[in-house]
């Protein structure tokens, strides 16, 4: 039997996070029956001047589902005595931020007069609903596109490009992916730009009788070329590619396009399928993305279940977190493939999620990349920072 029969812990409990759970667990350790008082939307509006993000009914349902909670009541008044008249608790819990606040001692004395003790409980460092809201407000929207996103976009927008091209030219490396998809849909040969310039064009996409033999670019007066890049930012690669085609000895009419661009991409290309502003990164070149310099990455994103590297060209990652039961496997694989990790964070079982949240809350991280939907959702809810689930291609932000 615990020291107290019934206890009350009250608060807003908006954007429920690990700090809320910890203080509830601590309160329950003192009493047999724990009552959670949830401040209503109207009460919050009255004394804070703003409404909570999560409405009263949803906050109540979240709290009801927690094992440590025995009862949830909605509070329309800040008076603890009013609640005591209905529930007759013998201990009241509050965070230790008001432990030395003289003005709050009046409430403590009022409760003591009816036989109710007050216990001040420590907060969890580094996390609060206010901090989460600030993180959400200042966190930049990170644009992420998967191969599936790109394929669907191409199928939708392909009518915007000329249908009378002779062949599709991809700019290595990333431009070859959309070029192959476009060429397949249009039933045209696709070639890397260097192959075209060598005049060794052969259909590499489909088994079409029309393009079964090699193409001699000197056979026809003018060839219509569709030049494809996956994305354009500063326009360097597309400018170099256009210059190479212009300086070639062949007669070429070139239509230049990219799948993803910025508001300035029209200066370099004839067609942009989607404006996708920075910061952004793509599934097909994540290993080369600068986002890894500012990401907290789940080790299972890097190392698969067969102890192999998921990204063969990966050489350096800023921070990887590992759950301690998998530490040796991950370290051996990273060493085997020569991947440099600036910071290796081992998350111990006994405080695994608390440690992970505390680490990710640091300003040096712009995004977390994980391979587990549950971890992705919990990290996002507890920090308000962008989290990518690499398996689903969904970024929470």
Per-residue tokens: 77: 């008044």
Whole-angstrom distance, CA of residue 27 vs CA of residue 22: 9
Largest CA distance in the chain: 102
**Residue 223 near residue 167 (C-beta atoms within 8 A):** yes
Whole-angstrom distance, CA of residue 273 vs CA of residue 289: 21
Per-residue tokens: 14: 């908006």
**Tokens 């929470």 -> residue:** 396
Q: pLDDT value at position 65?
A: 95
pLDDT value at 104 more than 70: yes
pLDDT value at 89 more than 90: yes
Q: pLDDT value at position 180?
A: 93
Whole-angstrom distance, CA of residue 370 vs CA of residue 359: 14
How do residues 302-315 score in pLDDT, each as one tens digit? 877 667 777 666 67
pTM above 0.85, yes or no: no
Strand partners, 119: 93
pLDDT band at 203 (very low <50, low <70, confident <90, very high): very low
pLDDT value at 26 more than 90: yes
Q: What string of DSSP letters covers 85-145?
A: HHH--SEEEEEGGGTT-GGGHHHHHHHHHTT-EEEEEPPPTT--HHHHHHHHHHSPPPEEE
Q: pLDDT value at position 351?
A: 56
**Residue 125 near residue 358 (C-beta atoms within 8 A):** yes
How do residues 321-333 score in pLDDT, each as one tens digit? 776 667 788 888 8
Among positive and negative, which fits the CA dihedral 52, 55, 60, 63?
negative
pLDDT band at 212 (very low <50, low <70, confident <90, very high): very low
Q: pLDDT value at position 138?
A: 63
Whole-angstrom distance, CA of residue 68 vs CA of residue 140: 36
Provide the mean pLDDT of the chain. 84
How do residues 225-251 score in pLDDT, each as one tens digit? 999 999 998 888 888 988 888 888 888
How do residues 272-304 score in pLDDT, each as one tens digit? 999 998 888 898 888 778 888 888 888 888 877
Highest mean pLDDT among 153-167, 311-325, 333-347: 153-167
Alpha carbon distances (Å) from 347 to 126, 144, 191, 244: 17, 27, 47, 51
pLDDT band at 215 (very low <50, low <70, confident <90, very high): low
Q: For the chain, list the domains and their CATH numbers.
A: 4-124 (3.40.50.620), 145-278 (3.40.50.2020), 289-396 (3.40.50)
């Amino acid at each position: 039997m615990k020291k107290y029969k019934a206890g009350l812990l009250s608060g807003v409990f908006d954007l429920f996070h690990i700090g809320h759970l910890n203080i509830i667990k601590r309160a329950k350790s003192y009493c047999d029956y724990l009552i959670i008082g949830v401040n209503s939307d109207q009460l919050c509006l009255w004394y804070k001047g703003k409404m909570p993000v999560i409405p009263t009914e949803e906050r109540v349902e979240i709290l009801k589902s927690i094992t440590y909670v025995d009862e949830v009541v909605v509070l329309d008044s800040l008076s603890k005595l009013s609640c005591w008249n209905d529930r007759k608790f013998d201990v009241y819990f509050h965070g230790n931020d008001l432990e030395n606040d003289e003005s709050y001692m009046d409430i403590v004395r009022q409760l003591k007069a009816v036989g109710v003790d007050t216990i001040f409980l420590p907060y969890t460092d580094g996390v609060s609903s206010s901090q989460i809201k600030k993180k959400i407000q200042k966190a930049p929207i990170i644009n992420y596109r998967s191969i599936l996103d790109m394929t669907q976009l191409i199928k939708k927008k392909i009518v915007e490009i000329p249908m009378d091209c002779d062949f599709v030219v991809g700019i290595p490396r990333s431009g070859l992916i959309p070029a192959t998809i476009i060429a397949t849909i249009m039933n045209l040969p696709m070639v890397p730009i260097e192959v075209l310039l060598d005049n060794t064009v052969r259909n590499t996409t489909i088994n079409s009788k029309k393009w079964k033999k090699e193409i001699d670019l000197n056979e026809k007066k003018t060839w219509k070329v569709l030049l494809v890049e996956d994305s354009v930012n500063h326009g360097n690669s597309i400018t170099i590619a256009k210059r190479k085609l212009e300086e070639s000895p062949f007669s070429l009419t070139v239509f230049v396009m990219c799948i993803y661009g910025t508001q300035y991409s029209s200066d370099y290309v004839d067609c942009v399928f989607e404006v996708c502003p920075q910061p952004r990164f793509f599934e097909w070149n994540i290993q080369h993305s600068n986002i890894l310099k500012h990401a907290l990455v789940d080790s299972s994103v890097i190392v698969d279940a067969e102890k192999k590297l998921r990204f063969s060209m990966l050489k350096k990652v800023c921070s990887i977190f590992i759950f301690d039961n998998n530490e040796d496997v991950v370290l051996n694989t990273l060493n085997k493939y020569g991947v440099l990790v600036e910071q290796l964070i081992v998350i111990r079982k006994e405080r695994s999620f608390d440690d992970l949240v505390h680490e990710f809350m640091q300003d040096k991280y712009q995004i977390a990349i994980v391979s587990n939907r549950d971890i992705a959702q919990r990290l996002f809810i507890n920090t308000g920072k962008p989290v990518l689930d690499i398996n689903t291609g969904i970024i929470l932000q």
